[in-house]
């Protein structure tokens, strides 16, 4: 626990930290990678270049400082970050490296004096301890689950299928032929790659796209022209190739009682965690209404459409609606609505009392969905979402 003077010092210096903006975390990352370049094998360097990781870390630092006297308020954020850290196999000693460079950054940019540096040092050690403890719990949980493991495990690609003009699915089976750990529908798996031509080892998280079967995993990957891993998977990966996986992780997953109405909302590749949820609901013979709402550019970009129809047909009460923003000449009958998703078009389908809404897609899309749901009177406690990449809070990013 932190003493009263340390808490007071942290809160007093928070405005100074806030004034730096993400420049603080830009300095931090540049410093850390200069002194510890081996960490480039852990961090997503694409998120470094586009600034997303810097912004996410800066927001996390400010949130921690603002709640340094009430760490319980940070519980959901800690869980989300800890889950992601375990997919990177983060170790306790790496927290010490981060702490060293964070304090050095504060000193070099702000020169606040020893009292302030000591306070931030104490506060960082407390926060690091929270993460280390929670992450060790997750590591041990994964290790002792049937089919579970710690660290990474060798898998082989056993099937590759084109699902749309930009999305391919990959079937992954363990190289040792043994069972694999189960997972909650909505969680992701981390793919570790170090291929010839890569500057660094690359780690990416991809949603698991069907219900757990204890034998294999399936992911779906959208091709990104500048994406190191997605480019390799789309253009170079072949059946029989090996890659390493960390155990399933993530705090975004469906939790539904049999009588809970569910709406699954997505755009583009954001449908991947929704697919696992839909499969799981069908396997459990969910009796309450299930609604599938999806937005895509056109029929060529609408992945898994036949699978959604097939799985939805196993549910007692299933409805779906599709939006195409730029339909092609042959897309008639493949969509119900033109343009961007407008939930008022389907309000009659999604107005059941107690309905829970799960959504995923580009940030702007999710901001729009959250705003529309709010305007329809849906409480935020009924909204559950996943941001691919560094986390953002939708309420804080809506304009």
| Residues belonging to the chain | 399
CB neighbours of residue 234 within 10 Å: 19
Structure tokens at 233: 């998977």
CA triple 311-316-317, angle to 5 deg: 90
CA 67 from chain center: how many Å?
Answer: 24
At which of 101, 122, 144 does a domain end? 144
- The reply, when asked if residue 124 is annotated as ligand binding, is no
pLDDT of res. 16 = 92
Residue 31 lies in a domain: yes
- The reply, when asked if residue 390 is annotated as ligand binding, is yes
Q: Check which CATH number belongs to the domain holding 319 and give it.
A: 3.40.50.80
- The reply, when asked if residue 377 is annotated as ligand binding, is no
Residue 256 lies in a domain: no
Number of domains in the chain: 3
- The reply, when asked if residue 199 is annotated as ligand binding, is no
DSSP code at position 208: B
- The reply, when asked if residue 356 is annotated as ligand binding, is no
- The reply, when asked if residue 272 is annotated as ligand binding, is yes
Domain identity same for 350 and 380:
yes
Query: pLDDT tens for residues 286-333?
Result: 999 999 999 999 999 999 999 999 999 999 999 999 999 999 999 999
Residue 30 lies in a domain: yes
Residue 398 lies in a domain: no
Domain identity same for 332 and 291:
yes
Residue 212 lies in a domain: yes
- At residue 390, does pLDDT exceed 60? no
Domain identity same for 9 and 59:
yes
Domain identity same for 266 and 354:
yes
Task: Domain of residue 238: give its range.
Answer: 153-249
Domain identity same for 232 and 289:
no
Residue 395 lies in a domain: no
Domain identity same for 114 and 59:
yes
Q: Check which CATH number belongs to the domain holding 16 and give it.
A: 1.10.490.10
Domain identity same for 133 and 14:
yes
Helix (H) or strand (E) holding 158: strand 153-162
Domain identity same for 365 and 238:
no
* 290-296: strand order across its sheet: 337-338, 318-324, 290-296, 262-267, 356-360, 383-386
Residues in a beta bridge with 190: 205, 246
- Rounded (10°) angle between helices 114-144 and 52-66: 110
pLDDT of res. 73 = 86
Residue 286 lies in a domain: yes
More confident residue, 43 or 262: 262
Query: pLDDT tens for residues 43-65?
Result: 876 666 666 778 888 888 999 99
Q: Check which CATH number belongs to the domain holding 229 and give it.
A: 2.40.30.10
**How many Å apart are CA 24 and CA 54, to the nearest integer?**
8
pLDDT of res. 196 = 81
Q: Which are the catalytic amino acids?
A: 95, 135
pLDDT of res. 197 = 82
Domain identity same for 337 and 214:
no
Residue 394 lies in a domain: no
At which of 207, 223, 249 does a domain end? 249
């Amino acid at each position: 626990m932190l003493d009263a003077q340390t808490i007071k010092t942290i809160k007093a210096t928070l405005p100074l930290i806030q004034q730096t903006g993400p420049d603080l975390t830009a300095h931090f990352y540049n410093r850390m990678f200069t002194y510890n370049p081996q960490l480039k094998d852990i961090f997503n360097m694409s998120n470094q270049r586009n600034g997303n990781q810097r912004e996410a870390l800066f927001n996390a630092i400010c949130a921690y400082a603002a709640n340094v006297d009430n760490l319980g308020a940070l519980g959901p954020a800690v869980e989300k970050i800890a889950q992601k850290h375990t997919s990177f196999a983060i170790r306790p000693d790496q927290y010490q490296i981060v702490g060293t460079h964070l304090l050095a950054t504060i000193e070099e940019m702000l020169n606040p004096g020893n009292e302030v540096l000591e306070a931030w040092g104490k506060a960082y050690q407390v926060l690091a301890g929270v993460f280390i403890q929670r992450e060790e719990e997750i590591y041990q949980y994964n290790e002792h689950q049937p089919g579970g493991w710690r660290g990474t495990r060798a898998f082989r690609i056993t099937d590759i299928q084109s699902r749309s003009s930009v999305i391919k699915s990959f079937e992954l089976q363990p190289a040792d032929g043994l069972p694999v750990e189960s997972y909650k529908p909505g969680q992701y798996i981390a793919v570790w790659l170090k291929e010839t031509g890569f500057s660094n080892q690359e780690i990416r998280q991809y949603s698991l796209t069907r219900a757990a079967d204890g034998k294999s995993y399936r992911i779906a990957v959208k091709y990104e022209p500048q994406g190191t891993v997605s480019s390799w998977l789309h253009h170079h990966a072949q059946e029989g190739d090996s890659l390493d996986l960390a155990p399933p992780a993530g705090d975004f997953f469906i939790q539904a009682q049999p009588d809970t109405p569910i709406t699954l909302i997505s755009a583009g590749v954001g449908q991947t965690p929704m697919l696992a949820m839909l499969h799981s609901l069908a396997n459990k013979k969910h009796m309450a209404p299930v609604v599938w709402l999806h937005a895509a550019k056109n029929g060529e970009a609408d992945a898994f459409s036949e699978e959604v129809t097939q799985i939805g047909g196993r549910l007692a009460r299933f409805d779906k609606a599709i939006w195409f923003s730029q339909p092609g000449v042959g897309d008639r009958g493949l969509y119900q609505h033109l343009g961007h998703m407008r939930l008022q078009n389907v309000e009659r389908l999604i107005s059941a009392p107690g309905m829970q809404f799960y959504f995923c897609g580009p940030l702007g899309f999710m901001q729009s969905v959250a705003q529309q749901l709010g305007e329809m009177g849906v409480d935020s406690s009924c909204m559950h979402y996943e941001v691919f990449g560094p986390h953002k809070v939708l309420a804080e990013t809506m304009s």
